[in-house]
Amino acid sequence: MKTTIVTIFLLSLQSLNGQLLWKISGNNLTEDSYLYGTIHAVPEDKFTVSSTLKETFESSKALALEIDLNMTFEQQIAMAKEILLPDGKTLKDYMSNEEYKKFETYCLDTLSIKKSKYKKYVKMKPFFVSSILLQEQIGKSKGYDQYFNDEAKKRSIPSSGLETVQYQLSTVNTIPLEEQAAMLTSSLGTELTEYNNMLDLYLANDLSGLSKLMEASDMSSEAFMNNFLTQRNKNWIPEIEKLIKNQRTFIAVGAAHLSGENGVVELLKQIGYIVEPVN
Cα Rg of the chain, angstroms: 19
Taking the alpha carbons of 237, 243, 248, 253 in that order, is the dihedral positive or negative? negative
How do residues 144-153 score in pLDDT, each as one tens digit? 999 999 999 9
- DSSP state at residue 71: -
Distance CA 191, CA 200 (A): 14
In this structure, the dihedral spanned by the alpha carbons of residues 177, 42, 147 and 251, taken in order and rounded to 10 degrees, is: -70
Distance CA 103, CA 222 (A): 27
How do residues 79-119 score in pLDDT, each as one tens digit? 888 899 999 999 999 999 999 999 999 999 999 999 999 99
Residue boundaries of the structural domains of the chain: 5-77+141-181+191-277
Specify whether the CB–CB gap between 265 and 35 falls below 8 A: yes
Query: Among 19, 10, 1, which residue's Cα sits nearest to residue 263?
Result: 19
Query: Would the pLDDT of 60 be above 90?
Result: yes
Distance CA 85, CA 73 (A): 21
